[in-house]
Structure 1
């Protein structure tokens, strides 16, 4: 102005490059420019006035210099869980297999961990104990903690193991203003290291699995974490204050999801965690902020000018400023989140294990306990005559246009529109769990103990599957290209002549499989495991959801998976998003009709409907 040169501060320039905040989203907004997808998990970050580091699974170290994101080389491809440093020329990272990295301002060097044996695999040695948190001071000393009570101390020259006298898994470590160090972890474990270097256990009455700790200016310490409750079928969050002598559980009348990280802002303390929860603590009250995501948030990064960034599952990177810290979510009790699904009257309270869309008639059928079979006609569910007295797990079109129902004791029943008759009997205590038909007379059924049956027009024949593991789901592109999934990550592939193993790269049970083509296949399973085959390799999303995913299906534009405790997730072609269902009933099956509408069935006769979106 007036002929002078306008100077833009580096701080302001750096902050302005995360992408424009959407006008309709005054709160938290997603970072642009970093290529991240459903396989990415970000655990932590570190920032100064010249740039930002974000670390995560697969040895991810992403650096933002104010203009571009660049993935920096990592010496070991394992998850990196935490960052700390006095400056970018003295930055430390810790992670899986005991990994410790140091950044000198130019490159990352491996200082410890990830020891391999003669076979090239990670060795079962103490040095490979996973590490999850790190802290330090201006004097350059640092402490890192991890599984089985592992505590490491860096004295400015070397890392050495310290005896903390515990085998609890440790997930948080902080340095207090008086020079002491606090570590916290599983089952309410809280430890203090005195200035002489000796660790002592504190008597914490709250049996939480602590994941974060923060020292407050008045000498108190805030601890955060969560516990699993069987009756709730999930984790509940805990916030605990230590005043130097005693522990007090905060906000006992409020239910939270599990907390993962803590941070300090000009408006108060921030606690974030599972299911996209972000809470603002001020004095003696707490408010939930509108995060705009249902993904688990795992870390909080202080940014220049007082803004913060939340990082987490499915490549989540959210920036929040003063507007985000004032954008409060409406008070909603657990289980009352706005749902994208609507409940339907099924007319039964039996468990429903299968739901199937008949493309020929554009009709839906559901099946379950005690031979239950339902038909959806003109907007209502009506009961068909029972298909025997045993449980029915799946349905398919019969060769003559009727309906097939398969289930317990290896029985398959046929419905001709009026009555059921037994179509096949294995005469063995083996349950058939899933069927697939090409609509032209070729039918496959799979089940317990690696059972595979094939109908080619004359009779049911048992096929050698090559496995004794249970097979829970089967899907095919055609009668010569099928996949079946089961126990311990088992994937079996049929090529028209034989079944062969098809390693998906996970040991978690897989419960269903579905695809659009042979190069676009999805699987789901235990603890929210999601996998995708792109025609060349499998990409497995780490098991980090709170509930098992039991079934999935999709259209040309999206994929939806459902599971235990009313869990649902939707893939929009780029990322997976949690999809509130409004129920805690287990959802065991899903189908989509010709109009792209989804129907899910499950426990207690539950049937939900989701309109095409």
Structure 2
């Protein structure tokens, strides 16, 4: 029932006092009046990206908000829709009553499964009609749906196939853990884990709550929320349970809650909603009741691209946190764009800029691009160096003797001695060098057709190395000359170990255009269609930043990470999650770097340079 997006939420932050409570400081939640639902309508769940919001509920109701207005979408089955999940709005799934499985291809909803009728036209008691209540999946498109009588369905990319859960309890939620395992939970304290063997294993949970929602934390622990009926109270009470992979522990046992219905990451903590308008914020100082402004049952949470949420429920209830959140319902529409912290800088050129480079050894800043363009930031302004030639320059670095290296089209590398350029390497092929890496003595260059060049203190010239691929290699990063990564087409990551290049995949089929990291256990990649990936030293995780535009470059410091791309797209990771960072431009951004004063600079089309102050 919850939006199954795994964010970087830390159990340590929850329980070691590191969460600063900044959840809007709400002064009352607001009903979205523009969502013209009937008084009897029930909303169960939703899904959102940059382009808009879907909200689903009873009677086959699915509303879509496109940034301007809410419209009801035609759905080919008039039964309740309980949960939505997808890799994009062009590949969006919805599940519901009578085993309903719907697919949205970006234009229309199509029934894929369920709602089987008998000869009299009524829904039959076929196993395919077992009601479904939760759906979640992986970035590669695999998905799982769960429902009544222990029903678990697996979508393998082609078909929805039943899996044996080993239980008959009603399952109400399913989530993906950071390590790739799948967790399903439901009635009577049932918690199931699908391990790498593809089998479901029941966990020993002594808390007989009816779990309706789950939130994975970054260390594979899980928060479970739900409720159970108490005779002495003549009603339901809520349970919040922490599972650390071995034991289950009830949290805040001394408090009395109404039944919880949904749980999601929010700001620097988590938000919980439930019966009778119950809404709580979980943070470092415990759990606090928020004023939702309604007594209607709240059944679901929709996480918006902005990081805000919408809570939905009975009687057409759809709430936003405050007026600011309501404004953010129109994310990235030019007339409603949030204030930018980026400032334009005069570059003195209208050429495309393909690279920007901060020489951290000498604290110099350079940019490069079309027609041999190389710029240097000197005495408070950008000035042009003599053109390298009439070819495009994609990457810059320091030469061993302190001169400036420039590499780009036709496989050429040039060196600037302070007065003029001279060619120091020529591949003699129409192959473009796209990236340079250096530690001051060892140099790597990478580019089209799997090109890798290397120059070491022992070599007098650049030497072409066997990369092991014919794929284009767009970006290079490494902490030292024995640990270098190069990224390329279809999720390719090439790894240099000091002796040879090995190939592996970052867990995506999208092209990767750049790579940057703080250490070997903290590496980021960006690429096609807003792809963002992170490597923690053990595994790659593709993070849902919800960008639609291609992301072409990434860099960062010890506090934050910045990714830039097409149409002026900028995303910033603040240590918790990726957020859109409006740059005040719709011009394509092709490169990003840190600045000597601790800020960031991005470069792109038409000579664009914009700076984000520290």
What runs of 5+ residues in structure 1 fail to find an aligned partner?
Answer: 1-18, 30-37, 48-52, 59-78, 115-121, 130-301
Q: Equivalent residue for 1:324?
A: 322
Q: Equivalent residue for 1:408?
A: 409
Where do 1:167-178 residues align within 5 Å?
A: none
Q: Equivalent residue for 2:360?
A: 359
- Summarize the Cα distance change of 1:54–1:100 in structure 2 as closer, same or farther, 3 Å threshold: closer
Separation of aligned partners in 2, 1:91 and 1:304: 27
Separation of aligned partners in 2, 1:427 and 1:20: 57
- Summarize the Cα distance change of 1:43–1:482 in structure 2 as closer, same or farther, 3 Å threshold: farther
Q: Is the 8 A contact 1:99 1:128 kept in 2?
A: no
Q: 1:549 aligns with which of 545, 548, 551?
A: 551
Where do 1:277-288 residues align within 5 Å?
A: none
Give the drift of 1:23.
Answer: 3.0
Q: Equivalent residue for 2:597?
A: 595
Q: Equivalent residue for 2:563?
A: 561
Give the drift of 1:26.
Answer: 5.6
SS of aligned partner of 2:296: helix
Q: 2:502 aligns with which of 486, 500, 503?
A: 500
Q: Equivalent residue for 1:453?
A: 453
Q: Equivalent residue for 2:296?
A: 305
Separation of aligned partners in 2, 1:83 and 1:357: 50
Q: 1:82 aligns with which of 82, 94, 111?
A: 94
Corresponding position: 1:431 with 2:475? no
Where do 1:183-222 residues align within 5 Å?
A: none
Q: Deviations over 1:73-113 (max 9, x none)?
A: xxxxxx984343499x9554467789784533xx6412x56
Separation of aligned partners in 1, 2:438 and 2:500: 18
Give the drift of 1:418.
Answer: 1.4
Q: Equivalent residue for 1:442?
A: 442
- Summarize the Cα distance change of 1:20–1:552 in structure 2 as closer, same or farther, 3 Å threshold: closer
Give the drift of 1:579.
Answer: 0.5
- Summarize the Cα distance change of 1:21–1:502 in structure 2 as closer, same or farther, 3 Å threshold: closer
- Summarize the Cα distance change of 1:372–1:327 in structure 2 as closer, same or farther, 3 Å threshold: closer
Separation of aligned partners in 1, 2:500 and 2:301: 51
Separation of aligned partners in 2, 1:605 and 1:27: 44
SS of aligned partner of 1:594: coil
Q: 2:582 aligns with which of 580, 583, 604?
A: 580
Relative to the length of structure 1, the TM-score reads: 0.55
Q: Equivalent residue for 1:528?
A: 530
Give the drift of 1:578.
Answer: 0.5
SS of aligned partner of 1:527: helix
Give the drift of 1:485.
Answer: 0.4
Q: Is the 8 A contact 1:567 1:580 kept in 2?
A: yes
Give the drift of 1:360.
Answer: 2.1
- Summarize the Cα distance change of 1:575–1:480 in structure 2 as closer, same or farther, 3 Å threshold: same
Relative to the length of structure 2, the TM-score reads: 0.55
Q: 1:483 aligns with which of 481, 485, 489?
A: 485
Corresponding position: 1:510 with 2:554? no
Separation of aligned partners in 2, 1:364 and 1:554: 16
Q: Is the 8 A contact 1:486 1:509 kept in 2?
A: yes
Give the drift of 1:333.
Answer: 5.9
Q: Equivalent residue for 1:368?
A: 369
Separation of aligned partners in 1, 2:406 and 2:24: 50
Give the drift of 1:566.
Answer: 0.2
Separation of aligned partners in 2, 1:389 and 1:86: 66
Separation of aligned partners in 2, 1:417 and 1:455: 22
Give the drift of 1:309.
Answer: 3.8
Separation of aligned partners in 2, 1:312 and 1:336: 16
Q: Is the 8 A contact 2:308 2:325 kept in 1?
A: no
What runs of 5+ residues in structure 2 fail to find an aligned partner?
Answer: 1-20, 32-48, 59-81, 100-129, 163-292, 312-317
Separation of aligned partners in 2, 1:460 and 1:351: 28
Corresponding position: 1:103 with 2:147? yes
Give the drift of 1:45.
Answer: 8.0
Give the drift of 1:378.
Answer: 2.4
Q: Deviations over 1:371-406 (max 9, x none)?
A: 000001222111111112210001001111111000
SS of aligned partner of 2:449: helix
Separation of aligned partners in 1, 2:486 and 2:436: 10
- Root-mean-square deviation over aligned CA pairs: 3.8
Where do 1:332-347 residues align within 5 Å?
A: 334=334, 337=337, 338-347=339-348
Q: Is the 8 A contact 2:83 2:134 kept in 1?
A: no
Separation of aligned partners in 2, 1:99 and 1:533: 22
Q: Deviations over 1:239-296 (max 9, x none)?
A: xxxxxxxxxxxxxxxxxxxxxxxxxxxxxxxxxxxxxxxxxxxxxxxxxxxxxxxxxx
Q: Deviations over 1:382-434 (max 9, x none)?
A: 11111122100010011111110000000001011111111111111100000
Separation of aligned partners in 2, 1:123 and 1:592: 41
- Summarize the Cα distance change of 1:98–1:46 in structure 2 as closer, same or farther, 3 Å threshold: farther
Q: Is the 8 A contact 1:335 1:583 kept in 2?
A: no
Q: Is the 8 A contact 1:341 1:610 kept in 2?
A: yes
